[in-house]
Amino acid sequence: MSAIHFFEKGEGQPVILIHGFCEIGEMWRDFAEALSSDFRVICPDLPGCGNSPIHSDSITLEEVAVLLQEWMEENAIHDPIVIGHSLGGYVTLALLELMGSQLKGIGLFHSTAFADDEEKKGMRDRTVIFLNKHGVETFVTSFVPPLIPEHKRDAFQEEITTAIDQAKQSTLKGLIAYTLAMRDRKDRFEVLENYSGQKLMIAGTLDGAVKIDASRAHKPAITDYYELEGVGHLGMIEQKNQCVEILREFCSKVADS
């Protein structure tokens, strides 16, 4: 049996929401509640995050995809729509490469199909050094707030505190493993481009983690592209209601296709 912990709400077309780095499945709770009237919404904790264990010091996105495929089979999740935030988008693309047309639709939420450039790889290396030196709590407390533009942080202080508390449920082993997995992931733009199903992308114009120019470069490969004006890396917090409706509209279209 898979060791992947998850929660689900609703019935019907399966929609899997995959969290990002320093996040857990619980981040999607409000989305699951809102979408559960129309869909079976399933929110896993990735291995090494939340209540899902990680069994080695390293993991690749390809290995995560295999674990998720096995988990889907065990839980009768067939022809899902898979939507991932940030790291969750990288996992979604690895799943797409593995499962292809077995996925009914995909979504990249503040994510990218491109590999890390050298500057980003250097940042990942520095993250590993910081994690080893300072640990999970110090890292996530400094990592999470800048995901929201500085001038908006006071307005979202409660949500930032919740996000930090959830991030603390990550393991040191898991954070280091995923930092290296993200650093070493391959470019999957061609995988995205060649997929014939519906493809959603939600981008933030002030996203410091996935620059807007990189998001716009995906437009030729995306069927449903949305930009959130003045939004950073956490559109599900900064523009929650709008993002819920974007997901609802996209998933309804895919389910009916």
What are the pLDDT digits (tens) for 29-82? Answer: 999 999 999 999 999 999 989 999 888 888 999 999 999 999 999 999 999 999
* pLDDT surpasses 60 at 1: no
List of domains in the chain: 6-256 (3.40.50.1820)
Taking the CA of residue 91 as centre, how many other CA atoms within 13 Å lie in the half-sphere pointing to its CB? 28
Alpha-carbon distance 33 to 183, whole Å?
A: 33
Does residue 199 register a pLDDT over 60?
A: yes
Average pLDDT, the chain: 96
Average of pLDDT values for 169-192? 96
- Nearest 5°: phi and psi at 223? -90, -30
Q: What is the model's pLDDT at position 257?
A: 84
Question: What pLDDT score was predicted for residue 36?
Answer: 97
Average pLDDT over residues 225-230: 98
| pLDDT one-digit tens code per residue, 97-109 | 999 999 999 999 9
Whether the pLDDT of residue 83 is over 90: the answer is yes
- pLDDT value, residue 3: 86
Provide the percentage of residues in the chain whose pLDDT is more than 70: 99
Say if residue 142's pLDDT is above 80: yes
